[in-house]
Amino acid sequence: MLWFHNARLIDPETGTDEIGTLLIRDGQIVERDGPCPEDAEAVDCHGKCLAPGIVDMGVQVGEPGAQHKESLRTAGLAAARGGVSTIVMRPDTDPAIDTPEVLEYVTRRAQARTPVHIRAMAALTRGRAGREMAEIGFLLDAGAVAFTDGDRVVSDTKLLGRCMSYARGMGALIIGHPQDAGLSAGACASSGKFASLKGLPAVSPMAERMGLDRDMGLVEMTGVRYHADQITTARSLPALMRAKNNGLDVSAGISIHHLTLNEFDVGDYRTFFKFTPPLRSEDDRRALVQAVAEGIIDVICSMHTPQDEESKRLPFEEAAAGAVGLETLLPAAMRLHHSEGLSLPLVWRALSLNPARRLGLTAGRLAVGAPADLVLFDPDAPFILDRFKLQSKSKNTPFDEARMQGRVLATYVAGQCVHAREQADA
């Protein structure tokens, strides 16, 4: 039993940010703003922030298939250090998580190796190949929280429509990657002055809008619950809003990188800034921050994508896309608070409450009865990131040597402390 006091409680559900106390017992929150029971251990939070642990929707773990880039163990360590209490794993493993057997294997190994919760999404089509439907029913029974082919777009509209109809019957959530596959083929930058100057093959932001429009059509046709993994351009926002206003069961996410970086950060072909979809213009970035503030975009995630040095030390076009993000998600999200003026409860709504709700998890709240998945952090603590100190096996972060603010002091999962910052390196 732990009694947190002198804590700034960040509650995304009520939208409050106030000093109070929190009592947890048996992995649950049991009382707020009450006195300390005699048998409880008191934790003085020194006025720092206590918030629900982050639910990171869309983490790539290299296990199975690419353990040299990231294993369940290292991903778990990174998550604990980053204040992520629930990893929502992407199915883009090798083999893909497209059968209940693979899902059970991953879940079993995760339980033994990671201090945080791991939930898995399953592939929508077998082998994520976009040809045959995966066993959505069995996978749901085995615990899949959503169905997605990751950044591979199912280009066969008929098949995708059938997957959606089938999934709808079971209430399953489908996660799409809105992108017109034809337009974006081979592109590694957003079209515009920068890409033209650097001579990089580029895609118009319109490709995302077109992909979203197509998916919205299918959602309207089938009535499925749908989440767009990443909405990264201002062009997509009206289409997204229209769908929501029309009553479709639709939500959208964005990676923290698209909210804090823009295409110019690529600079002299720095491959750690190569993402799928590519980084966008500053105008897009600002519109998207606004969209998060207004709740048009529901979820912020890390899109954690570990890549080893060999995959990145290549000419830009040939290099692998993606960045690790479990440990940098929180400090990067603090930029939205410090520089863009978003309140902490609002940021936590996107980091924790919304993804949990969307996936049917009870986390993301500070209410009595909610799981005691918590992160204690100092939103102001400044530091310079050293990528070699990351817990992830892969060190491909775009924030290397960046000045950041916001440090995780402790992470609790189901009432257990899984990470506590040493005073020495604070």
Nearer Cβ to another protein (401/422): 401
Closest listed residue to residue 327, CA positions, set 381, 274, 389: 389
Residue with tokens 């009694």: 3
Q: Which one-letter DSSP state was computed for residue 125?
A: B
> Which helix or strand (DSSP H or E) is residue 398 part of?
none
Closest contact distance (angstroms) between CB of 91 and another protein is 29
* Closer residue to another protein (CB): 167 or 200: 200
Q: Least distance from C-beta 260 to another protein, angstroms? A: 23
Judged by beta carbon, residue 199 or residue 223, the one nearer another protein is 199
Kindly give the pairing relationship between strand 16-25 and strand 2-11: antiparallel
Q: Report the alpha-carbon distance of residue 92 to residue 65 in Å, rounded.
A: 10
Binding site for another protein (CB under 8 A): 191-202, 204, 268-269, 310, 313-318
For 162, phi then psi, to 5°, come to: -70, -40
* Contacts (Cβ under 8 Å, ≥6 apart) of 38: none
Q: What's the CA gap between 359 and 379, in Å, rounded?
A: 27
Please identify, using beta-carbon distances, which residue of 196 and 339 lies nearer to another protein: 196
Instruction: Give whichever of 314 and 426 is closer to another protein, judged by the CB atom.
Output: 314
Query: Closest separation between CB of residue 202 and another protein, Å?
Result: 7
Least distance in angstroms from the C-beta of 230 to another protein? 22
CB of 288 to another protein, least distance (A): 20
How many whole angstroms separate alpha carbon 302 and alpha carbon 128? 21
Q: In the bound complex, what is the minimum distance in angstroms from residue 188's beta carbon to another protein?
A: 9
Min dist CB 282 to another protein, Å, is 14
Backbone φ and ψ of 134, nearest 5°: -80, 170
Q: How far is the CB of 153 from another protein (least distance, A)?
A: 22
Residue among 26 and 309 whose Cβ is closer to another protein: 309
The residue type found at 365 is R
Count of beta carbons in the 10 Å neighbourhood of residue 201: 14
The distance of Cα 327 from the centroid of its chain, to the nearest Å, equals 12
| CA 200/CA 381 separation, integer angstroms | 38
Residue with smaller CB distance to another protein, 266 or 342: 266
d(C-alpha 278, C-alpha 262), whole Å: 9
Of the pair 37, 199, the CB lying nearest another protein is at 199
Query: Nearest distance from residue 274's CB to another protein, in Å?
Result: 11
- Which DSSP category does 154 fall into? -
Residue 202 or 300: the one with the smaller Cβ distance to another protein is 202
Nearer to another protein by Cβ, of 269 and 383: the residue is: 269
Q: How far is the CB of 90 from another protein (least distance, A)?
A: 27
CB 120, CB 78: distance < 8 Å: no
Beta bridge mates, 20: 7
Q: Which residues pair with 28 in a beta bridge?
A: 25, 371
Q: What is the DSSP letter of 273?
A: G
- CB of residue 187 vs another protein: minimum separation in angstroms? 11
Instruction: Give whichever of 147 and 275 is closer to another protein, judged by the CB atom.
Output: 275
Is 408 in a helix, a strand, or coil?
strand
Q: How many CA atoms lie within 13 A of 422 on its CB side?
A: 2
Nearest CA to 93 out of 116, 124, 65 is that of 65
Instruction: Tell me if the bond preceding 371 is cis, omega within 30° of 0.
Output: no
